[in-house]
Structure 1
Amino acid sequence: MSSGTPNNSETNAVPKKYDPKAIEDQWYDYWMKHRFFEASEDSGKEPFTIMMPPPNVTGALHMGHALQGAVQDTLTRLKRMQGYEALWLPGTDHAGIATQNVVERELKEKEKKTRHDIGREEFVNKVWEWKEKYGEIITRQYSKLGVSCDWSRERFTMDEGLSRAVQETFIRLHDEGLIYKGNYLVNWCPVDMTAISDEEVEHVERKGHMWHVSYPLDEETAAKSGKTHLTIATTRPETIPADTAVSVHPEDDRYKNMIGGHAFVPTTGRKVPIIADEYVKTEYGSGALKVTPAHDENDFEIGLRHNLPRINIINKDGTMNEDSGRYNGMDRFDARDAIVKDIESEGLLEKVEDYVNQIGISSRSKAVIEPLLSDQWFVKMKPLADKAMQFSRDGEFRFYPPRWQNEFFRWMENIRDWVISRQLWWGHRIPVWYHTKEDGSIDYSKDYVVSIEQPDSSMVQDPDVLDTWFSSWLWPFSTLGWPDKTRALDYFYPTSVLVSGYDILFFWVSRMLMGGIHFTGETPFRDIFMTGIVKDKLGRKMSKSLNNGIDPLEMIDQYGADAVRYCLIILCAQGQDIKLDPSKFEMGRNFANKLWNAFRFLNLHLDPQASYRRHFSAGEDEADSGAAEISEMPLQDRWMITRINQTIQDVDDDLSRYRLNEALLKIYSLVWDDFCDWYLELIKPEYGQSMPHETAERAIIILEMQLKLLHPFMPFITEEIWQRLRSRTPEDALIVSDWPVADSKWTDGNSRDLFITIQQMISSVRNIRAEMNVPDNLDIELIIKPADRETREKLLEHQAIFEKMLKISEFTVDTEVNRPGASASDVVDGHELFVPLSGLIDFDKEKQRVQKEISRLESFLTSVEKKLANEKFLNNAPADVVENEKKKQSDARVNLAKMRTILADLDR
């Protein structure tokens, strides 16, 4: 026997209680020392590649990371055991805005300075210093989870090679006409002071108002229409000073006589045209629309169609500028109040309505987004999206669950150009160079040069950086050496599967598909497994503001990494969100303890000096095993091996479809229900006796098969037990052992079916004992009336199983026997079971107990049914509350029927 410790300690004492802290770090160091996580391009094996979604370098491990890590590590360990050259490549993202904000706050707190005080070069150096100091925290935290990444290949999105890939990408897209610079409306964050993409904008409902404002008509329009004013409805009166037109629908009879006329803008008196445009919704508000091309995306498009001027009245910090007139310098929301007050004083405010509005906020700063005109760099997305959609139609990649393909198409079909420039200092500089004026400022009027290197000493680089996602959309291939043709890229790309939360389907997953297909001509990954989001037990997103986050490191410290992994995967139904209560980690710890206790029991009965064979399972070399054929084994062994064989098939099927939770549930049932609760109980020797060598040998092999199945999910405890069962070399470590393979020759369906029948009979008798309140210390008589003589012979042959699992004084199997009086009964697969009760219980006392329970259940059922008959309750109560009441009703009916059956048995 091995000590089980990676440092080859001489002691073989097995701790009574499983302590994850005592072994997890040691096994991780052992795996790292022997380089089990590292993958090689020269192995000659079929590759399996998975890329870690790079967490922000500023981040700390949260439950979303833990879920993703557990899933990806399970898949990686599985493929490694299946003989693939498994590469799980880790790394971190430079996270432009987030990292810059962190360092800026630190600079302000420690030195009372801003980045502008110290200048760009010194500030960027400080960010790099911060990254070197803190940037590896999250990767070190990941190791606590047991992740088997190839740390020798770890990447950072601003590594030299990845930076070159980013520059090459920009230049290629620009040369292809897919990158352009333009003055367009962008989503502007006035807190982070940068443009952000559509995908970085969250749309939330806010209670606000709809203001109905009168726009006076000029004399000619008033005379033509017979009206003096035109009413518009707006939720943003602060932009009224930027209006350059009023628009109506061309078919709206209310305004046909006004089209071509003019109105005056309140607060400014500016005369603007009244135009006709089919975009206007006649049923919305008054049916007339103020057109503000510089501050609304739809108005911008109307302005392009009608050649309207654009007046920008809002600064980048969210204050009003001089073009807003007397509102100059005000915050935009203060200006809103001032403008409404002025309109009211002019007698032009008709009415104000309460209104629930959808507004855009920054997903990071939570500031209300301001649509602003700005010179920015854009990528034309439609050509890239068209290619990606065609690859999807051709089956080049698959979503799990499949419904996400519909979401993918929905977004691709409505895709807009991607604004890729950011007004930040930390990030990939845009490889564009400009001429300068005499005063040293950039001369944007002259042609620019796109180049990695400075073309001329008189030219300066574009001050903006690229969107963080512009580097991470290259992640699957830039990390392998692209744009160079490396051996790693040739061998490991395309990758096998991407595991990602659905919340970044549009941010990242779709962009990687477009980028990979465009730049390499291949899909970057064959399968896309979309996990749900980890939420709190109430279904709320975890956030600092709600203080409802659960720290995975604290859970690992309290329950162990295997327990955390088990819990997250068992709750990870494909594509569904996880409602996580910290108490649920107890499930994982209980399972680990159950497995440990099973090992301890078996270990107590092993001979330290004995040599036990290693094989008889399918997929192993039968010639080397010398194990008995399955037909010669005891029934419980034939059943257990058959169950393992079936579980291997089922688990393989589940894992091939990324149903990890279903696979783990099957393994759990195999280990807990079949192995621990039945198999070990049946092979347990009588007190004071030793376990036969052959029995122990079979039990070891059966346990080892289960350890292999469980290892990808719970690597630490399985490796610990594996190493303790036998003396092992590093080459024999569980992490690099062969995944079990199902084989029909190790399946005995008849033995399985017979054992299941016996199991059901034993469970039935146990239920009878419990329901009839038979004291535990009393033996019972069991009479079985089988449906046929063949079953009679088989049951008698395996009488020892009944005697082992039940406390029985007499065992009768007879096809002609009649039910004795004063007995309880049940039917299992057509076979009748009788348990005589005379002398075991006080019949009168039991009748009273059962009748009392029947009365209680009848009263309870009446109460529940009364509630469910109440229409008010059904219509107003939450759906889950109604469902809970229906379940109470169903359970009560089942229990009531059972109690009535018991009472009938007592009356016999």
Structure 2
Amino acid sequence: MSPAMLHRSSVFWNKTKIHKIRRLYCDLANQKPPLASAYSKDVESGWYQKWEAEGQFKAPENPSSKNSFSLLLPPPNVTGILHLGHALTCSIQDALVRWNRMSGKDVVWIPGLDHAGIATQTVVERYLAAKNLGTRRELGREKFLQEAWKWKESKGDIIVEQIRNLGCSLDWSKQYFTMDEERSRAVIDAFVLLFEKGLIYRAESLVNWSCQLQSAIADIEVDWLQLEEPKWIKVPGYNKKIKFGELTHVALPIDGESGELVVATTRLETMLGDSGVAVHPQDERYSSFIGKFVKHPLRPEAKIPIIADEFVDRDFGTGVVKITPAHDATDFDVGKRHKLESINVFSSEGKILPFGGKFDGLKRFEAREEIRNQLESLGLIRGVSAVPNSKIPICSRSSDVVELMLKPQWFVDCKSMAEKAVKAVENGELVIDPPVFNKTWHAWLDDVRDWCISRQLWWGHQIPAYLCESEKSQVWVAAHSKEEAKKKSESILGTKEVKVSQDLDVLDTWFSSALLPFASLGWPSDPKRMENFYPLSLMETGHDILFFWVARMVMLGREITGKLPFHKILLHGIICDSHGRKMSKSLGNVINPEDIIHGTSLEELIARVVEGQRDASDEEVKKGVRAQEIAFPKGIPACGTDALRYTLCSHDAKVHYLNFDINECSVNRNFCNKIWQATKYVLNNSFNEATYLAPHELENLNLSLMDRWILSRLAHSIDTINTAFENKNLHESCSAIKEFIYTNFCDVYIEASKILLQEQHRSSATKHALLHCVQTYLRLLAPFMPFLSEELFQHLPGQQNSVHLNSYPSPAEWACLKNLEAESKSAVIIDTARLIRELKSLGKLSKPQTVALIETEDLALYQENLSVLEMLGQCSQITICNKIDSDVKSIRAPLSLKTLVHVVGQLQVQDLDKKLKKLRKEEESLVRTLTAKRFLEEASSDVKIAKNRKLEAVRLEIEKFSQHKSHAQSH
């Protein structure tokens, strides 16, 4: 954590203390703390600790299995601080959890931390190097693990605090760590069980190998660097950059003949491991060579066979392919089919193994140059060409170039488990939302490869497999201890003279993570706790780990427990910046949640870019710095947790990519203030109405048309919001809440109430309506803005409990207040007021200057609501009549076929011309953007939709102002 972040953290906790003391004093004095004049994020201080102390987040001891909701927070890695992706997950899950809890469900939401094997070991090694505390090898395994545990404790505490700051209502009594005692036992039990079922086995096979880490790595830890042309790249462990994306054509002399076959390769260093040359069986150019041999130019005594295989593309390159089974996945399969020798070229460190030549011991890319030189001296180079769209595999943890290597590893046989997982989706037992990912599920699992679960690390779960050796034989067994392994092996080997040693490798982090749906609930030691909440009600996570985590949870969950770990999967998209680019350090567009909550300066943002790109080139650092200067010229303003959460939930999370614009947080911070001011207005005008009536009791009050309208709008909003929650479309809930509070309540009803509260015979009803709207919208808002809703709810008269202990407004409860007639009539009044304000603006008239004339057949409706219409229309006077004198000079526009609205005054044609010119210029700009090739190819679907909507709105404005101009000219 940077000094600036530490400072912000200490400031935050000081404010928390002050807020708590103030609240405690008011509680003792039996008073509510005064409501401030404006919203501030400081109101978020202190509430979380109060909720936790009251036990609001704890799951009930004896939950109802039919009325429970269980959810697991994907455990953050103990590698550093949370990023926006974590904040998105937390915001979505907490909204769902709070809604279910307020809807009467018995809820458990389980927190945890992941040990993150490779990621954590890498950052700890960097930390030790920066502090000059020695390398991992220098420290030794025991001391290094002590340092890793220290790291976990410090970083784990920071992450937990950040999750709390996001307002996540997790049951902290159930917090776990993937390497704690209970989870470690679960991992061993699961490994032994799967081993004894024959689903875990040891074999020599190809794996992604990081020479820098000297470990196998998962596919998800491999980033693919796309090259459009040959490029020099910095590789760890080399003093100079290495050239990639270049294809070297090499001639291989045919044994016993004068001819040659030409192969092309980007990896000359792997030629030492070639054990065959392949051509297509129907390629007439080479049919006479099939079955013969070529001389190996780097291993003089070796002759390698020319084989025929249909995998060869005769139209690509020369149509001749060298086969290196130990370093290429396709070649490995070809080698198996044709029984070719698999020859390892590299050591674990990436050095050439002994071949009895001058390349022995060279680093792989140094050997590449030496091999090129030798081939040139032999006259065997036949040219060099660029590889179009080549991809280089890069280790995301070490930035090293990944090698495929043949290594003895532990694997999980996934075939039968994958088939069951596919069938579960096909028969509807397991539902994926959005369903577009059903195809991805099939694509991955239909062609699943066995899962390599061993890692050559020190930090992680040491594999509970033991090599048991007697004088005559040896066997691998899985066991809970060395003693158990010895007993098992004695019966297998038929002797008590057995030497037992545990495998030093650790398990892939995803293995322990795949057990979490049941391991986090006490399996195997606490079956009762597991029974209460297993299977989980929902698995919510990012779509990018659908296979790496979700599919593996499904496979292992069903295999080990006999049940699916959950029946519903909700997937959210990847957060990108406002331009649709993935967030990355190299682009300098990474935003931390803490920066949005507490705000930060441009200087701090730049310092973090520089710090995070210590190993990057000067060019990349400058690029990152420039990106921050453009995006945040004044830094990031403090927006608070509620605004951040609401912004994240306002996006359709089910799309592939979510474009995040920091400005939206500022807008939603202003929305927080709007809610604050609206609530304050209501409290100032309805303090004496402390009795809350049930919705059906409100019908008995002397309600005005606008009272009935707002209550009906609220009832419809409650329908929409709950339906959206049920369908996991949180953005629709957010939109409906904002529409009601901002547009219906603040912009219309509060303004109308300023008149209604003056009417003695109806003011009490309006006060009740105002108070009920506020009390209800704060409950509706609570899952998204827990702090603001709680702070304001506690100021409402008669409220004793937390807003989160109140029930969520239900459609059934509010259905009685739906009133289509009131909505229809009110819509006429509201639309008329809106049109009056528009015409008033065109005429550049102030409120005192504005006199409106309404020519209509609905005389009664307008007369009954005249004072409200004058307030909403911002007029000094409104006249309602059947017919307007044609001599009256007015700015007019039709509201409907039977209503014409006039505002006394005259339009200036030149003003309209200016407005139209500006609008047409904007239209041209939007059309240029929307038809630009780069925009069509690179812009996200969200951006394209937004731009098209903007164009449509501009064109409607042009049409409207053209009509006004025509009308002005006719006068």
Normalization by structure 1: what TM-score? 0.91
Question: Which residue of structure 1 lines up, in the alignment, with residue 604 of structure 2?
Answer: none
Task: Spell out the pairing of 1:319-398 with structure 2 (5 A cutoff).
Answer: 319-323=351-355, 325-356=357-388, 357-398=390-431
Aligned partners of 1:25 and 1:144 also within 8 Å: no
Which secondary structure state, in structure 2, belongs to the residue aligned with residue 152 of structure 1?
helix
- Quick check: 1:697 aligned with 2:768? yes
Which of 775, 779, 782 is the equivalent residue of 2:846? 775
How far does the alpha carbon of each residue in 1:662-700 deviate from its partner, in whole angstroms, 9 at most, with x for none? 210110010011111111111125999999444322211
Q: Distance in 2 between matches of 1:340 and 1:694?
A: 90
Aligned partners of 2:779 and 2:809 also within 8 Å: yes
- Quick check: 1:259 aligned with 2:290? yes
- Quick check: 1:448 aligned with 2:476? yes
Q: Distance in 1 between matches of 2:699 and 2:41?
A: 37
Q: Distance in 1 between matches of 2:950 and 2:187?
A: 60
Question: Which residue of structure 2 lines up, in the alignment, with residue 831 of structure 1?
Answer: 898
Question: Which residue of structure 1 lines up, in the alignment, with residue 505 of structure 2?
Answer: 464
How far does the alpha carbon of each residue in 1:4-24 deviate from its partner, in whole angstroms, 9 at most, with x for none? 946644354211021222x21
How far does the alpha carbon of each residue in 1:425-444 deviate from its partner, in whole angstroms, 9 at most, with x for none? 1111111122469xxxxx99
- Quick check: 1:203 aligned with 2:224? yes
Task: Spell out the pairing of 1:155-304 with structure 2 (5 A cutoff).
Answer: 155-206=176-227, 207=230, 208-219=245-256, 222=257, 228-269=259-300, 270-304=302-336
Shift, 1:189, TM fit:
0.9
Which secondary structure state, in structure 1, belongs to the residue aligned with residue 358 of structure 2?
helix
Moved more, 31-40 or 550-559: 550-559
Question: Which residue of structure 2 lines up, in the alignment, with residue 145 of structure 1?
Answer: 166
- Structure 1 vs Structure 2: percent identity of aligned residues? 35
Shift, 1:549, TM fit:
1.3
The AA in structure 2 aligned to 1:37 is: F
Question: Which residue of structure 1 lines up, in the alignment, with residue 909 of structure 2?
Answer: 847
Aligned partners of 1:864 and 1:885 also within 8 Å: no
Instruction: Flag the structure with more relative contact order, 1 or 2, with Cα contacts below 8 A and sequence separation at least 6.
Output: 1
Q: 1:500 to 1:865 in 2, by over 3 A?
A: closer
The AA in structure 1 aligned to 2:88 is: L
Q: 1:24 to 1:165 in 2, by over 3 A?
A: same
Aligned partners of 1:312 and 1:323 also within 8 Å: no
- Quick check: 1:29 aligned with 2:49? yes
Shift, 1:487, TM fit:
2.1
Shift, 1:204, TM fit:
2.9
Which of 69, 74, 94 is the equivalent residue of 1:73? 94
Which of 136, 142, 150 is the equivalent residue of 1:121? 142
Aligned partners of 1:280 and 1:287 also within 8 Å: yes
Task: Spell out the pairing of 1:812-891 with structure 2 (5 A cutoff).
Answer: 812-815=879-882, 821-837=888-904, 840-841=905-906, 846-854=908-916, 860=921
Shift, 1:852, TM fit:
4.9
Shift, 1:448, TM fit:
2.3
The AA in structure 1 aligned to 2:550 is: V
The AA in structure 1 aligned to 2:859 is: R
Task: Spell out the pairing of 1:226-625 with structure 2 (5 A cutoff).
Answer: 228-269=259-300, 270-323=302-355, 325-356=357-388, 357-435=390-468, 446-455=474-483, 456=486, 458-484=499-525, 486-557=527-598, 558-607=638-687, 610=688, 612-617=690-695
How far does the alpha carbon of each residue in 1:614-658 deviate from its partner, in whole angstroms, 9 at most, with x for none? 1332xxxx5xxx54437x411111111111111111111211121
Q: Distance in 1 between matches of 2:903 and 2:475?
A: 101
Aligned partners of 1:6 and 1:26 also within 8 Å: no
Task: Spell out the pairing of 1:609-758 with structure 2 (5 A cutoff).
Answer: 610=688, 612-617=690-695, 626-629=697-700, 632-684=702-754, 692-729=763-800, 732-743=801-812, 744-758=815-829
Shift, 1:746, TM fit:
1.3
The AA in structure 2 aligned to 1:659 is: N
Normalization by structure 2: what TM-score? 0.85
Q: Distance in 1 between matches of 2:950 and 2:788?
A: 39
Q: 1:829 to 1:836 in 2, by over 3 A?
A: closer
Q: 1:340 to 1:868 in 2, by over 3 A?
A: closer
Shift, 1:545, TM fit:
3.1
Q: 1:819 to 1:751 in 2, by over 3 A?
A: farther
Question: Which residue of structure 1 lines up, in the alignment, with residue 864 of structure 2?
Answer: 797
Shift, 1:855, TM fit:
6.0
Shift, 1:112, TM fit:
3.7
Moved more, 369-378 or 447-456: 447-456
Aligned partners of 2:250 and 2:382 also within 8 Å: yes
Moved more, 120-129 or 378-387: 120-129
Which of 62, 68, 72 is the equivalent residue of 1:51? 72
Shift, 1:264, TM fit:
0.5
Query: For the aligned residues, what is the CA RMSD?
Result: 2.7
How far does the alpha carbon of each residue in 1:391-414 deviate from its partner, in whole angstroms, 9 at most, with x for none? 111112222211011111111111
Which secondary structure state, in structure 2, belongs to the residue aligned with residue 666 of structure 1?
helix
Shift, 1:211, TM fit:
1.4
Q: Distance in 1 between matches of 2:929 and 2:54?
A: 63
Unaligned runs of 5+ in 2: 1-20, 231-244, 487-497, 599-637
Q: Distance in 2 between matches of 1:279 and 1:855?
A: 63
Aligned partners of 2:836 and 2:903 also within 8 Å: no
Query: Number of residue pairs matched?
Result: 869
Q: 1:468 to 1:725 in 2, by over 3 A?
A: same
Q: Distance in 1 between matches of 2:386 and 2:535?
A: 54
Aligned partners of 1:4 and 1:724 also within 8 Å: no
Q: 1:485 to 1:782 in 2, by over 3 A?
A: same
Aligned partners of 2:213 and 2:398 also within 8 Å: yes
Q: 1:758 to 1:99 in 2, by over 3 A?
A: same
The AA in structure 2 aligned to 1:647 is: S
Shift, 1:238, TM fit:
1.0
The AA in structure 2 aligned to 1:746 is: L
Shift, 1:733, TM fit:
1.2
Q: Distance in 2 between matches of 1:685 and 1:77?
A: 37
Q: Distance in 1 between matches of 2:323 and 2:37?
A: 76
Shift, 1:751, TM fit:
0.5
Q: 1:150 to 1:188 in 2, by over 3 A?
A: same
Q: Distance in 2 between matches of 1:508 and 1:350?
A: 47
Which secondary structure state, in structure 1, belongs to the residue aligned with residue 277 of structure 2?
strand
Q: 1:445 to 1:681 in 2, by over 3 A?
A: farther
Shift, 1:905, TM fit:
3.0
How far does the alpha carbon of each residue in 1:229-248 deviate from its partner, in whole angstroms, 9 at most, with x for none? 11112221111111111111
Moved more, 245-254 or 875-884: 875-884
Question: Which residue of structure 1 lines up, in the alignment, with residue 609 of structure 2?
Answer: none
Aligned partners of 1:821 and 1:836 also within 8 Å: no
Q: Distance in 2 between matches of 1:889 and 1:478?
A: 53
Question: Which residue of structure 2 lines up, in the alignment, with residue 440 of structure 1?
Answer: none
Q: Distance in 2 between matches of 1:324 and 1:17?
A: 80
Which secondary structure state, in structure 2, belongs to the residue aligned with residue 525 of structure 1?
coil
Which secondary structure state, in structure 1, belongs to the residue aligned with residue 811 of structure 2?
coil
Aligned partners of 2:122 and 2:397 also within 8 Å: no
